[in-house]
Amino acid sequence: MKKADLKIVFVVPDMAGGGTEKVITLLANEYVRRGIGVGILTFAGNEYAYPLDNRVETYSAAMPSKGSLAVRLQRLIRMRQYFRQNKGCLIFSFSTIGTGFVVLSTLFMKRNMLVSERTDPQTCDHKPYRNFFYRFAKCLVCQTEDGVKCFPKSLQKKACVIGNPVSDELAGVYNGKRKKEIVTAGRLQPVKNQRMLIEAFSIFEKRYDGYTLHFFGKGPLEKELKEYAEELGIGRKVVFHGFSKRVDMEIRESSIFVLSSNYEGISNSMVEALALGLPVIATDCPIGGCRMYIEPGVNGLLVPVGDAEAMADAMGRLAGDEELAARMSANAARIRDEYSIGKIADLMLRAAEGAGNL
């Protein structure tokens, strides 16, 4: 299909901020730069946290339903109207629930749909629902090989593995003296296990003086995490910055980036930290998203999920060995080329265009 005739429509609940939304923004901006038509269809909100090229079309089918059947029916009607007006588009569904809405709203219509699984498939609460609707996709994109194995054989046959991209607008690698800051970025919610990170930092800071811990992101656990830091006597050393559109600029001079999640698909914040040349410590989450990017001792460190002592020891290993930290920093930055937005956009497009019509 010629670029002039091609249109890609991303389907997602909202664009209010997060890893999935950031990847969509990067891909959408990349495709319109190539002269490809792009639309973003949201079905549970109309907020956009990241800057989009003004050539990207945005369409809100509905606001959150809050359980309302009437809102869901109106959503389906509006989505069907949109797809009728955009016949022949490539649909990139970045949402499990959204995939169901796409299938229902395009009944008896030709569709060419790629589904991108954005988290650990084992954590899905509605596997029968998910697997049924994923059958209607011609291509299933997973983030790791272990992620593919979580699906039934029938879905594995149509699956491929594509990692997360690095933005070509990311800040440059910092080579000066680093601040005594340990940083993390992500929504403040249970799955990210920032409570364990605070516990690990409280162990670490007793051994290494002058460090502070910085959180970038917002979420329902902020008050609880602040109280926990106070309870451990480190409240003054733990700083919450809220959401930032340019976290890369905020953290590039820091000493260590930490990801403490219980599970992930692939953490965008971790990928960006590596690309910035930050020494990175990450939990070795199920499905291997962190393992896919980090070679332990070479470009980062992996620790067991939920192990505060191991996390504190890893922090100490980097804080106490500047040569190791510098070597890992240089090696980490090399992923900028391997996972460039251009390469990932090519892979996604190739997977979708090879799908045909249903």
Domain shared by 149 and 186, yes or no: no
Q: Structure pTM?
A: 0.87
Domain shared by 191 and 332, yes or no: yes
Domain shared by 122 and 251, yes or no: no
pLDDT tens-digit series, residues 297-349: 999 999 999 999 999 999 999 999 999 999 999 999 999 989 999 999 999 99
Domain shared by 68 and 209, yes or no: no
pLDDT of 358 > 50? The answer is no
Domain shared by 71 and 193, yes or no: no
pLDDT of 3 > 90? The answer is no
**Portion of the chain with pLDDT greater than 70, in percent:** 98
By the 8 A CB rule, do 140 and 158 touch?
A: yes
Among 2-6, 159-163, 205-209, 351-355, the minimum mean pLDDT is found in 2-6
- Distance, CA of 358 to CA of 356 (rounded, Å): 7
pLDDT, residue 241, reads: 97
Q: Does an H or E element contain 142, and which?
A: strand 139-142
Residues 28-49 have a mean pLDDT of 96
CATH number at residue 87: 3.40.50.2000
Domain shared by 218 and 322, yes or no: yes
228 assigned to some structural domain: yes
DSSP string across 81-129: HHHHHTTTPEEEE--HHHHHHHHHHTTTS--EEEEE--S-GGG-S-HHH
pLDDT, residue 357, reads: 38
293 assigned to some structural domain: yes
Domain shared by 188 and 81, yes or no: no
Domain shared by 87 and 206, yes or no: no
Residues 176-201 have a mean pLDDT of 96
Domain shared by 275 and 139, yes or no: no
- Distance, CA of 303 to CA of 284 (rounded, Å): 6
By the 8 A CB rule, do 301 and 294 touch?
A: yes
Whole domain around residue 45: which residue ranges?
3-165+340-353
